[in-house]
Amino acid sequence: MKIKIYYHHTDCGGVVYYAKYLEFLEDARTEFFEDKGISYEGMVRQGTQFVVVRQEIDYKAPAFYGDTLSIDTRLTEVGPVKLDFSYEIKNQNNQAISTARTIMVCVNGNLKPQAIPEEIRNKLGK
């Protein structure tokens, strides 16, 4: 996924505000699911959601207003209930800006852990 950095992503120094990366990662996961044919809205209607239980971010270099960042999203583990994502964020010069990891747990409509439905597992395996 690519994202252009706009003024609202930055602090007063023109550097991307650290918390904005959480939004970038959320967008990247949404794109990842959609690329696999999984609609988050459709999952919720069927009583399935994935919630973040752990988030790690390592900042390597700053990103600035006007940069274009690429986010490489990988699903590194599919457990019975959890998904483990890793990311590498680079700028337009291919410089590493950040690496990150997100662990998500599958929950039902009452936000209780549940096994990842087989249909979703199959799509994630493609």
Q: Which helix (H) or strand (E) holds 120?
A: helix 118-124
Q: What is the pLDDT of residues 48-64, one digit of tens each?
A: 999 999 999 999 999 99
Q: What is the pLDDT of residue 125?
A: 84
Tokens, residue 58: 């390592």
* DSSP 8-class letter at 62: -
Which of left, alpha, beta for 66 (phi over 0: left; psi -120 to 50: alpha)? left
Q: What is the pLDDT of residue 100?
A: 98
**Per-residue pLDDT band at 89 (split at 50, 70, 90):** very high
Question: What average pLDDT is seen over the chain?
Answer: 96
Give yes or no: 11 in active site: yes
How is 25-52 classified by DSSP, letter by letter? HHHHHHHHHHHTT--HHHHHHTT-EEEE
Among residues 11, 27, 58, 72, the one annotated as catalytic is 11
Q: What is the pLDDT of residues 15-38, one digit of tens each?
A: 999 999 999 999 999 999 999 999
Q: What is the pLDDT of residue 126?
A: 57
Instruction: Output the pTM of the full model.
Output: 0.93
